[in-house]
Structure 1
Amino acid sequence: MAPRSWAPRRGGPALQDRRPGAPQLGDSAAGDHRGGGGGEPAARARVRDDGPGRGRRAGRAAARLSDREHQPGAEQAGAGARSVRRPGGRSRGGLRRRAVRRLPPHVRRHRAEGRGLPPRLRGRSLPTEALASVRPLPAPRHQVPHARCPRPAAEARCRRHTPDRDRLTTVVVIGGGIAGYTAALAARRHGADVTLIARAPGATALYAGGMEIVDDLDTVLRSPNHPLTRLGMDAVGLATELDAAVSTLQLALGKEGLRFEGTWRSRGLYADIHGLARPANVVPDTVARGELGALSGKRVAVIGVPQVGDYDAASTAQALKELHGIEAFAEDISISDLPVAASLTDLYGRRAPAPKARGAAIAYPPGFTSLPDDSFELLASPPSPHGWRLQQAIGLGAVGAEITSFETAADTVIAAHSATRGFRADAFVLATGRHIGGGLQAGRVTAERLFGLGIFRDGVPAAQSGARLHLLKYLDPAEEMRLGVKTDKRLHPLLEDGTAPYANLYAAGAVLGGYDYAGPCGFGVPILTGWLAGRYAAKSA
């Protein structure tokens, strides 16, 4: 058989087959005698072939060449068939087969230089019908979806409609005391957008410096009309909630620059400016060092200021010695720039003067700052510098406004209105306090001024007590302080008939009746009910 004449093949180097044999890469099939042209054939390109019986005659060892061994001859482009390319040239086809399969057919048939268009359409304007089907490229860093591949679930979530997204719950807390502040903390902790509205400082600003949280939970639960009993929790549940509420409150106040020490589970005795012992669970860190049990066996210097008329350090030191067995003595330090007939309130914010006493604990009247080591503050009576500091800390993020009316629809509160603006929300927390805060209006008949809620005494509507309640108020004015709003287990305030008028309204703090907020639960009820009310409000939507 005469040798085949070699001819250049389109898109690759010329290959020569001098004798019949096994087909090589790029050769025609057996029996194909297409050819043309004469002349001396060039040396056949050396092609690496790892397959058995391919590209060599039987009985001859396969030639294994490295990727660069055949340079500057024909250059190996890949291990697949028809992958031979010229030195420095482009491989036939321009794209790998896998990539080509992913392209649409009308682009796959034309080279990239033609931008995917056949020659007859290049440089010509497209008809209107064709232009209408052209879509603009997506923005950068976006994935182009494939027609035959489903989009991932993450892309579907990102592109879902706005009504399907989780909407942020909005909560309005009315009241700037400790109950409102704790409710706002709890609502924010559970992901709500909170607006705290405060008209003016309430009873929280009058506290003496020691917080009484709760004395004995078992004793509290034996009172059926106590606000904590009406929550429907046992002692373990109440203790768990108190742990979370008190620790969160201390952490938040510490971020505002007012650090507290103690827990609701322990109670200490602390001396006031008269030398009397007052119980407290949680106190400021400036008061904690003055716990009477820790002062046993120490010498205590009680600092006095002669210009202050409502405080006598000598009588305080004598009371500490006689009532508590503490070795106390008075030391007066004059402050010349105080006004005439100054009071303890004039000491507020001043730097603590350095005493002459050495080797003794130092007891300062409340209000001084930058206390030296081994010193403490005494508790105060209203008006109290401790109360001012607490009120300043909890009122930093409050909106100053007085709510005068509400907008309601059926069993839902829609908005709260002041004289100048309105506050729309998904849920509302009523923490307006009692008489000092303005939540209740005392008169011939005590009333709740915003919603007209029922006022109860020992679980019975106050309107049913009649003249007997007036007699009790005459004999003991403290009876008026036990009146308040009644709630269900979810802290929804009730009407006199025992029904909850609004599903998204919650009540917390001193506005609730059934306890004495000057007693052992004075801060426990506002903190715990505010904590739970804020949580319920945040989850109401």
Structure 2
Amino acid sequence: MAIEADVVVVGGGLAGATAALSAAREGVHVHLISAKESTLRQASGLIDALGYPDPDGRSPPLANPYDGVDDLPDGHPYRVVGADALREGLALFDDAVGDRYRGGHTDRNALVATTSGRAKPTARYPRSVAPGLVSDDRDTLLVGFEAATDFDAPLAAERLTAAGVPFDVAGATIAFPGDYRADAAVTRLAHALERDEDAGNGRSTRQRLADRVRPHLGDAERVGFPAMLGDAHVEEVRADLSDRLGAEVFEIPTGPPSLPGIRLEDRLFEALDEAGVSMTTGNPVVDYETDADGDIDRVIVDRNGARIPYDADAYVLATGGLVGKGVESDRDGPREGVFGCRVPAPDDRMAWSEAGAFADHAFARFGVDTDERLRPLGSDGEPEFGNLFAAGGVVGGADVAREKSASGVSLATGLVAGRTAAEEA
């Protein structure tokens, strides 16, 4: 027996969640299918809109992401859906996450300090990150842990100083309170701070942490830790440590596993539930069937070997790009992995990349071509399916890593794909 909905969204990342929320707001029944954990769990939790429209390594970061949209090439997703879609996508995000994020009061990018000691332009950032903005001129102490080896606080402080930040910044590496291995899981350390258990000599984890930080504090008015200050109760941990240190505590976004990314994923799935979106997780779409007109009639989900059909009037493809495995590649070329949609690429494989890890690589822009309604196009320039709409990393034309635009592309295309799918339904 088939599971029915008006719109089926394939993909559970930021683009898929945005498309599902956008469609649900149009009053249709939406079902979201996610084959695996979202790539949000590996992401920083920052929401980048557009940091560098011409990412040649020489241009300064954009103060206002909307100012750079017209400078992008014609095939860029922002040029396809328009700057208003980005603005509306960010507004939908703001509504979904509530006061957990900052940045919605302005069109301007903020500069957030990263664990590598860089200043990253971003449009939205977690509340726990806000006190650490580079535009803030308060003197700062960065603190790393011997048990969390992916953040070298003294090196990050040195790089920020060299970049000319408007404050004094120092870095210190200390032992995390309690008995932890040098490669202890970030989640384990976060839970220790959240539970605030006895860490020895009758003193709690937070007490001992504050005691170890205090000798390094100097004149610093704020203290940055890697983003591991608890899971569900990060604000409680931050407030307690701030009170103990007499300086405002903030988080610095880290690489995977990313607690800010996990927190964001949790909140988005709560928002989907509140919007009435039904969900299937942990089971991949493995096939599809078409109707007499060649449109998608149903998708087939593999559930422990059983083939379960999902019927809808319209579908949104939001499976990600090369990183998210929504776009696959072999010696025959790249292709979209669920519906086999065309992914344009140079015939000469040597032209897929350039010399240098951070060069302007063609493969970074691989994805489906779309029309203005975000329907994937075949080699003849016509939609491959009349009722399939694409969103996020599976849409080609953007080098999101160099542009710092990944989240914005997901929000803008997710908003439009969800809305147009609802209209089709």
TM score, norm. by length of structure 2: 0.76
Distance 2:222 2:66 in 1: 35
Partner of 1:124: none
The answer to whether 1:279 aligns with 2:112 is no
Taking structure 1 as reference, are residues 524 and 333 closer, same or farther at Cα in structure 2, changes over 3 Å only?
same
Tell whether the 8 Å contact from 1:303 to 1:330 is kept in structure 2 after alignment.
Answer: yes
Distance 1:243 1:311, change over 3 A: closer
Deviation at 1:446, TM superposition (A): 0.7
What is the CA-CA distance between 1:305 and the residue it aligns to?
A: 2.4
Q: Is the 8 A contact 2:9 2:32 kept in 1?
A: yes
Distance 2:261 2:39 in 1: 9
Which residue is 2:383 aligned to? 500
Q: Are 1:489 and 2:372 counterparts?
A: yes
* Distance of aligned partners of 1:198 and 1:267 in 2 relative to their CA distance in 1, 3 Å threshold: same
Distance 1:230 1:447 in 2: 21
Could you tell me which residue of structure 2 aligns to residue 516 of structure 1? Answer: 399
Aligned residue number for residue 363 of structure 1: 224
Tell me if 1:328 matches 2:172: no
Contact 1:201 1:391 in 2 (8 A): no
- Write out per-residue CA displacement over residues 191-222 of structure 1, whole angstroms, 9 at most, x where no aligned residue: 01111111113443322232211354454334
Closer, same or farther: CA 407–476 of 1 in aligned 2, 3 Å: farther
Distance 1:404 1:485, change over 3 A: same
Offset at residue 346 of structure 1 (A)? 4.1
The answer to whether the 8 A contact 2:335-2:341 is kept is yes
Matched with 1:201 is: 37
What's the CA shift for 1:344? Answer: 4.1
Render the CA deviation track for 1:174-197: whole Å, top value 9, x for unaligned.
001100000011111110111111
Query: In the aligned structure 1, how far is the partner of 2:135 from the partner of 2:119?
Result: 11
SS in structure 2 of the partner of residue 485 of structure 1: coil
Give the unaligned 5+ runs of structure 2: 52-64, 195-205, 231-236, 243-247, 274-278
CA, structure 1 residues 299+512, in 2 after alignment: closer, same or farther (shift >3 Å)? Answer: same
Closer/same/farther in 2, CA of residues 532 and 347 from structure 1, 3 Å limit: same
Which of the pair has the greater relative contact order for Cα pairs under 8 Å at 6+ separation?
2
More divergent stretch after superposition (400-409 vs 333-342): 333-342
The corresponding residue for 1:174 is 10
Q: Which residue of 2 aligns with 1:43?
A: none
Alignment partner of 1:525 is 2:367: no
2:314 alignment counterpart: 427
Q: Distance in 2 between matches of 1:475 and 1:307?
A: 36
Task: For 1:360, give the aligned amino acid.
Answer: E
Instruction: Give runs of aligned pairs for residues 153-168 of structure 1, distance below 5 A.
Output: none
RMSD of the TM alignment (CA)? 2.5
Q: How many residues of Structure 1 are paired with residues of Structure 2 in the alignment?
A: 355
Whole-Å separation in 2 of the counterparts to 1:499 and 1:315: 52
What residue in structure 1 maps to residue 254 of structure 2?
380
Unmatched runs of 5 consecutive residues or more in structure 1: 1-167, 457-461
Mapped to 1, the partners of 2:417 and 2:267 lie a distance apart of 21
Q: Would you say the 8 A contact 2:7–2:313 is kept in 1? A: yes
After TM superposition, list the pairs within 5 Å mapping 1:50-129 onto structure 2: none
1:307 aligned to 140, 144, 147, which one?
147
Task: Go from structure 1 to structure 2 and tell me whether the alpha carbon gap of 1:307 and 1:523 turns closer, same or farther (over 3 Å shift).
Answer: closer
Aligned CA distance change for structure 1 residues 284 and 446 (closer, same or farther; 3 Å): same
Deviations 1:284-311 (A, max 9, x none): 01011110111x1x23232332333333
Match of 1:228 in 2: 78
| One-letter identity of the residue aligned with 1:252 | A
Distance 1:350 1:260 in 2: 24
State how far apart, in whole Å, the 1-side matches of 2:92 and 2:286 are: 31
- Conserved? CA contact 1:350–1:368, under 8 Å: no
Q: Note if contact 1:338-1:346 (Cα within 8 Å) is conserved in structure 2.
A: no
Structure 2 residue 350 is the aligned partner of structure 1 residue 454: no
Q: Is the 8 A contact 2:48 2:404 kept in 1?
A: yes
Which structure has the larger Rg? 1
Q: TM-score, normalised by structure 1?
A: 0.61
Structure 1 residues 42-99: Cα deviation after superposition (integer angstroms, max 9, x where no partner)? xxxxxxxxxxxxxxxxxxxxxxxxxxxxxxxxxxxxxxxxxxxxxxxxxxxxxxxxxx
Q: CA deviation at 1:522?
A: 1.6
| Aligned mates of 1:319, 1:431 — CA distance in 2 | 37
What is the alpha-carbon distance in structure 2 between the residues aligned to residue 303 and residue 449 of structure 1?
43
1:245 aligns with 2:89: yes
SS at 1:270 equivalent: strand
Q: Which has the higher strand share?
A: 2
Where 2:420 maps in the other structure, the secondary structure is: helix
Shift of 1:516: 1.1
Partner Cα separation in structure 2 for residue 269 and residue 532 of structure 1: 28
**Cα 1:429–1:476 shift into 2, 3 Å:** farther
Instruction: State how far apart, in whole Å, the 2-side matches of 1:217 and 1:394 are.
Output: 25
